[in-house]
A and B are shown apart, each in its own frame.
Chain A
Amino acid sequence: MSIADAFFMASFTVPEIIHVDPKSTLWLLPLVASISIVYKTTKIPNIKALSFLKEVVILFGSIVVFMAVSAIALCVLAWLITE
């Protein structure tokens, strides 16, 4: 096994350092992207690059916007309860 291979394998045996801060919520984005891609793949019988990309981007945007709105609503609710 070469040094590069060993380094690559080792990166899967030690967890990354991720702090509990607002920045860590950005890890949501790749997951939403993969959910959008796979979901649209199962929905479209004949995939054409442009229309597929458009559908994926629309779904991705919808999920992100909905989650952002939900987060804001929950923050406002928490603020109203605690103030």
Chain B
Amino acid sequence: MTSTTVTIIGAGQAGLSMSRCLSERSIDHVLLERGEVANSWKTERWDSLCLLTPNWMTRLPDGQYAGDDPNGYMTATEVANFLETYGAHVEAPVIANTVVESVRPTDDGFRTVTNNGEWVSKAVVVATGACSTPRIPEIAGLVPGNVRQLAPIHYRNPDQLDSGRVLVVGASASGAQIADELARSGRAVTLAVGDHVRLPRTYRGMDIHWWMDSLGLLDERIADVEDISRARRLPSLQLVGSPEGRDIGLNELARNGVDITGRLVGVSGSTAQFSGSFANSCASADLKQGRLLEAIDEFALATGLESELPDPTRPSTTELPAARLTLSLDEVSTVVWATGFVPNYPWLDTNLLDRKGAIRHDGGVMAHPGMYVLGLPFLRRRKSTFLDGVGFDAKELATHLNDYLANSVASPMRTGG
């Protein structure tokens, strides 16, 4: 058994940021990592994946992007290398290949049991990320057995898949990108589209994330949004990071030969069934996009940027394909479930979780004193999961954690169980 002050679970961008913030305060800690630093980026991302945000939007505590391509988009491998270099730079005490099996409160802190020994600590930071366990809808169980099914964390490249049509379910960043790549490789692809967030890669000559950053949207805090649970559930943006600044909205995908349908809502025998609500999904996405571009134009006018920018050219309305409600799965070789992720914390007490298994927290402060979580969507701000945002959350939570440690030394905490 090893004793430390803070146990951080996970050594990705969130865990490393917290490590840097704790070191700054000379708070003793370890990072328990199931694989190696940046494990998800190394082992659970497809070959061509690039960040959605441009490189300059990489501002970890004491870890800014310093390369020569600030407007480019790092590949997953480059992100992994960046985080490895960052971890070494901040001297993060990472214990690799250590899988956490349970975290339980003790009389004066916590005991963390792993496959590689036990740690006792005064505080725990959960930094395992939001993209580890794919959400696979129940209807996956109805898909005929001869059809291969996989999630984006298991997808690598088009050559990995058998010949035949691929049904990609979900049109957020992952689904849209995978459908785009498969279609460009010559595959027959059907993309099932539910609610989605449509945005152009660039608007009036600037990256859309530059605009969102400039407008302060990424800095929005919990109190700034009307419905935080909806903000936390918002699908990822229909964007891809590519050197040519390519768009992968439904119009572009359709032009590249992707067969577009509504949301997958059923499987009956060997027939996939799609929702008739597709027109409204597209109308909603077009309206939402329009509101953001309108806000950008108003911002440009108000700040005087207007004179330096090309005139606004609004993306055209989403063209609705002929309504088709079914697809024979006889011609489908593979289904890719790009349907998001679910929380998965079998090593935590269930009283720390809500009824859907997500960690209950108030801006990252968990229900049990001394426990924190970092790196979840809109944890404290809209950019909480970004390489550009997690560091700000880490700083604030490190302050809270520091105060907690100071107080718990003064008056020993009573554990509630």
Physical interaction between A and B: no
* Residues of A in contact with B (beta carbons under 8 Å apart): none
B residues sitting closer than 8 Å to A (CB atoms) are: none
